[in-house]
Structure 1
């Protein structure tokens, strides 16, 4: 029995190692290719024969008709920041209402929201596109911010679960002191919800930061100055450009991951606490 357990543990770990290697190889290839002096796809060697940091200089300092990375980065950052702020506000308002307030239809509304949130967002993309087109918000960063933020309140479950762990006596004490619902939320609940706030901020930021499908659908004017980083990098993979810009594409892909990686490392403690706390109840 002991030998069987040992063999099972070894087999499980071996499988995990194999899956990890398969998962890491494309990422490692992107990283090393970003430092390659060969501009196209080099299939003869995994590691570059010549190393350079010129690709990063081209991405950041030498814009041309194809590469306008700083403009794309600025567009993506603006969309992500505003989406993050609006989505976080929506989620906390909905979570507070469902967790801390009691009203007729509350349970039914919660159930309906959860069911609605289970449907993939891509199912509504065409309808959303034609609605925004009719009001002139296609090829608009404002339109993208509105759509990214509009349905964010449906993702309230984790934050609500965290709020459910906060003793009701704290809210009751605040009401005795004369606080209204808004003051209770901002001065009592939010300070306690710092870990889940970090979790929500990172999640809300990541959605527009890495999105390609909706951005490609919306920003279809062909003007590269309006693109996000995802669209700009995808354009470099065109068959007429890939042999000249693939290493630059890899450098751009590596750079776009740096801000969110730094943010996650700094906020990792609160992020894990937020996920664990939000999963306790709800």
Structure 2
């Protein structure tokens, strides 16, 4: 008679299948992680390589494309010295900085006010106004280039950096207003009501309660509003005529398109210096993008 196997010798089929399923899941997780890392690595290479190419080219000797590359031979600072001594780059830079700062300040103030008004105040024409803003932001600003040029010509604003900043503010205002309105809609109205019961007026509520809670979105608007005119080419090319009012985008464009000048390495040096203010602005303001505004408001 055959011996009966003990319980220790008998394996549970369900336990075996469960262990097999767990092992397969671990393999799938590892494959998924590997694919994600490969994808992120590919994206990083695609993004970082052009930056390395520009930075390396800015230190390359000579001015042609043959001397441009991510790892230059005989690296030199001559391109940066030439950029500030033999061109009007300093003036272009200050012009662009003036327009960008003015556009950033105006966009932040106007978009915060308009977003708050459309979100919190009920008035006649509110819905048609929001619909008009929604329609306006569907059209890129360069479609109105001819109309803007005629307006500037009639009002004597051609070749004016302040006028260029005003156009940039107006072009981005519909999008920024809709953005701020949507963000303000998610802020608790109970805070406004509590302040109103304490006797605070609308402007006091906006300045002391709503505006601090808008900080993350205001930071985003500030960064994008600074970047847009800083890199813009079409409107400055259309509205600015004298060489003393040119922006960086126009000046750098002339370095590589002029009949007697195709200095690509100096162009690369200018592009590197051009990125410095945006980088500093983002580093300074990035902490406000992740501020727990709502959590702090609810605790208060």
TM-score range (shorter-chain normalised) is: 0.7 to 0.9
Measure the CA separation in 2 of the matches of 1:237 and 1:187.
50
Measure the CA separation in 1 of the matches of 2:290 and 2:104.
19
* Matching of residue 138 in structure 1 with residue 158 in structure 2: yes
* Matching of residue 271 in structure 1 with residue 289 in structure 2: yes
Measure the CA separation in 2 of the matches of 1:39 and 1:230.
19
Matched residue, 1:231: 250
Matched residue, 1:209: 230
Segments of 5+ residues of structure 1 without an aligned counterpart are: 278-282
Segments of 5+ residues of structure 2 without an aligned counterpart are: 1-23, 296-300
Cα distance per residue 1:13-61 (max 9 Å; x no partner): 434433432333222111001111222222686521111122222223x
Match for residue 251 of structure 1 among 266, 269, 290: 269
Q: Is the 8 A contact 2:64 2:264 kept in 1?
A: yes
The number of equivalent residue pairs is: 270
Bigger-Rg structure (1/2): 2
In the TM superposition, what is the alpha-carbon distance from 1:158 to its structure 2 partner? Answer: 2.6
In the TM superposition, what is the alpha-carbon distance from 1:238 to its structure 2 partner? Answer: 1.7
Cα distance per residue 1:49-95 (max 9 Å; x no partner): 111122222223x1x3xx11110111111111111111111101110
Comparing 209-218 and 45-54, the one that deviates more: 45-54
TM-score by length of 1: 0.85
Q: What is the RMSD computed on CA atoms of the aligned residues? A: 2.6
Match for residue 48 of structure 1 among 68, 72, 96: 72
TM-score by length of 2: 0.80
Measure the CA separation in 2 of the matches of 1:56 and 1:44.
14
Cα distance per residue 1:208-230 (max 9 Å; x no partner): 111111111111x2x32110011
* Matching of residue 165 in structure 1 with residue 186 in structure 2: yes
Match for residue 177 of structure 1 among 186, 194, 198: 198
Measure the CA separation in 2 of the matches of 1:275 and 1:189.
10
Measure the CA separation in 2 of the matches of 1:39 and 1:273.
46
Summarize the Cα distance change of 1:238–1:177 in structure 2 as closer, same or farther, 3 Å threshold.
Answer: same
